[in-house]
Amino acid sequence: DADVTQTPRNRITKTGKRIMLECSQTKGHDRMYWYRQDPGLGLRLIYYSFDVKDINKGEISDGYSVSRQAQAKFSLSLESAIPNQTALYFCATSDTTSNYGYTFGSGTRLTVV
Amino acid sequence: DQQVKQNSPSLSVQEGRISILNCDYTNSMFDYFLWYKKYPAEGPTFLISISSIKDKNEDGRFTVFLNKSAKHLSLHIVPSQPGDSAVYFCAASWSGNTGKLIFGQGTTLQVKP
């Protein structure tokens, strides 16, 4: 099994729909992150969590929410999807001693039509 | 405000030659820099890093150079191989940022046989 598993891998949804992207990790790390990748913009941080009770907004959190259900699980929700949320979404995890090295999942390609 | 910039969206190099990928940053607080490599349909994977107390770090064919006065770092791949063809992301962080990484836009490297 992969260290960081994201589901679904691909999703097409309609404008206005609620959608949840899920992430689970087997690394035993406390820290988890959600990024989105857009062409020409690189990876931008949406939300991050340093433990189950600690949730923080990143640079582009508007329109998104997250839930840290357990140390191993961190889900990202789009409450009412819009077309400019079409992107590749990555979950990542890190520990506190890895000199900031992240382990990424394989990504979820989301298309909002 | 793009704090980490990779101004070359793409680079094409002949197999066996040197690949040089560049990255500039604006935040003088950054004290740790990383390079990630990403293949299609996969998440980014950690490649090499450098602390601001160093100006060079080498790992096999990969060397990262840091010029703090110019706020510039570069990744050298020697010799380049077709399997190095991927998107390369530069990332930066600082100790006051509690582990969050700021990524550049990415550079797509193509190594031609």
- How distant, in Å, are the alpha carbons of A2, A17, A33, A64, B112 from that of B34? 22, 37, 17, 27, 25
Cβ within 8 Å of residue A100, ≥6 positions away: A94, B32, B34, B49, B91, B93, B99, B101
Which residues of chain A have a CB within 8 Å of the CB of B46?
101-103
- pLDDT computed for residue B91 by the predictor: 94
- pLDDT computed for residue A99 by the predictor: 60
B62-69: long-range pairs with CB below 8 Å, 24+: B62/B35, B64/B33, B64/B35, B66/B33
Say if the Cβ atoms of A102 and B49 lie within 8 Å: no
Say if the Cβ atoms of A43 and B103 lie within 8 Å: yes
Dihedral pair phi/psi, residue A83, rounded to 5° = -55, -30
Low-confidence ranges of chain A (pLDDT < 50): none
Determine the residue of chain A that is closest to B4 in CA distance.
Answer: A42
Which residues of chain A have a CB within 8 Å of the CB of B43?
4, 90, 92, 104-107
Q: What average pLDDT does chain B have?
A: 94
A5's tokens: 């598993």
Say if the Cβ atoms of A102 and B105 lie within 8 Å: no
- pLDDT computed for residue A73 by the predictor: 97
Percent of chain B with pLDDT over 90: 88
Which residues of chain A have a CB within 8 Å of the CB of B36?
102, 104
Which residues of chain A have a CB within 8 Å of the CB of B49?
99-101
- pLDDT computed for residue A98 by the predictor: 55
B/e letters for B63-74, b = 16+ CB within 10 Å, e = fewer, are bbbbeeeebebb
Amino acid at B42: E
Amino acid at A108: T
Dihedral pair phi/psi, residue A84, rounded to 5° = -80, 5
Which residues 23-42 on chain A approach chain B with CB closer than 8 angstroms? 31, 33, 35, 40-42
Beta bridge partners of B51: B32
Model confidence pLDDT, tens digit, residues A75-98: 999 999 999 999 999 999 998 765
Average pLDDT estimate for B61-83: 97
Euclidean distance between CA atoms A4 and B76, whole angstroms: 29
Model confidence pLDDT, tens digit, residues B18-63: 999 999 999 999 999 999 999 998 999 999 999 999 999 999 999 9
